[in-house]
Amino acid sequence: MDYNHIKSFAKEIRINIINCIGSIGVGHIGGCLSIVDVLAVLYAKQMNIDPKNPKKEGRDRLVCSKGHAGPAVYSALAEKGYFPKSELLTLNQGGTTLPSHCDMHKTIGIDMTAGSLGQGLSCAVGMALGSRIRKDGATIFAIVGDGESQEGQIWEAGMYAAHKKLDNLIAFTDFNHMQIDGTTDEINSLEPLNKKWEAFGWNVYVVDGHDIEAIDKAIDKARAYESKPSMIILDTIKGKGVSIAEQAKVACHSMSLSPEQCEKAISEIRGEL
């Protein structure tokens, strides 16, 4: 399997994110960049979707439960052709179709509104139950934040998804080990996260969240796994691929980006090509 086109897709998403957030000069850069590689695998390969028919019946769906990573999802959607890349430059401007947090009624290709943390995984459970009733063969994907996993409702959803044996639900934890006020270990440790999900009755994989091949293979295995929902824990780096963000550590959750910093970040990303 040649993964080069997915790797290129990931680079373009990263560039789109810098242009998108750079257009307004501030945003959730860290948590956008940390999920780029899983988004690239989903949108370039795994998801059964059609940008020309965004509401296609039986399509796979994605809930970005950590709704503040909206710009990353918009960047993937634009790269996939859902809307022109020029729209990315309207992020958070009055009247935009691209608000900071995902809104299914504003943005073509967004399947679920999110932003108040902890609710998206439950919504994905509802969608997986809906798909089961309709027998449409869809897989429901959800991306959950690590800080978000401190919300009790994540575990309510987790318990019920396993109880209902929702093997058409595949969730990811963006485990970048950072949240607004510090590292997750400093604030309220999630460890051992894999054992927690296993104890909740999920099929769990832990992979390098920036290894495109590893993510793809984990999704293949999760799709084939029967009678349990799957949790793929992505070991990620907040701000991945842009050194100014990576070096800012927890401060990159929401940070400003000057035009010069954007230019430098884009050359840095392109330099890896």
Tell me which residues touch other proteins (CB under 8 A): 63, 103-105, 111-113, 115-116, 118-120, 122-134, 152-153, 156-157, 159-160
Among 175, 241, 183, which Cα is nearest to 209's? 175
Amino acid identity of residue 76, one-letter, is A
Cβ 228 to other proteins shortest distance, Å: 18
156's tokens? 């309510």
Shortest Å distance, C-beta 179 to other proteins: 19
Contacts of 180 (CB under 8 A, 6+ apart): 147, 250, 253, 254
Strand pairing class (140-145; 61-64):
parallel
Nearer to other proteins, 153 or 261 (CB): 153
Enter the DSSP assignment of 43. I
Query: Least distance in Å: CB of 31 to other proteins?
Result: 19
Whole-number Cα distances in Å, 245 to 30, 37, 144, 234, 249: 6, 16, 21, 19, 7
Q: Which is nearer to other proteins, 130 or 182 (CB)?
A: 130
Rounded to a whole number of angstroms, the minimum distance from the CB of residue 10 to other proteins is 28
Q: Which is nearer to other proteins, 70 or 118 (CB)?
A: 118
Q: Is the CB of 75 or the CB of 119 nearer to other proteins?
A: 119
How far apart CA 228 and CA 14 sit, in angstroms, is 33
Cβ closest to other proteins, residue 103 vs residue 235: 103
In angstroms, give the least distance from the CB of 21 to other proteins: 23
Judge whether 62 and 143 are in contact, CB under 8 Å: yes
Instruction: Find tokens 């020029």 and name the residue.
Output: 86
Least Å distance between CB 111 and other proteins? 7
In single-letter form, the type of residue at position 246 comes to: E
Which of 111, 167 has the CB closer to other proteins? 111
Query: How are beta strands 178-179 and 182-183 bridged, if at all?
Result: antiparallel
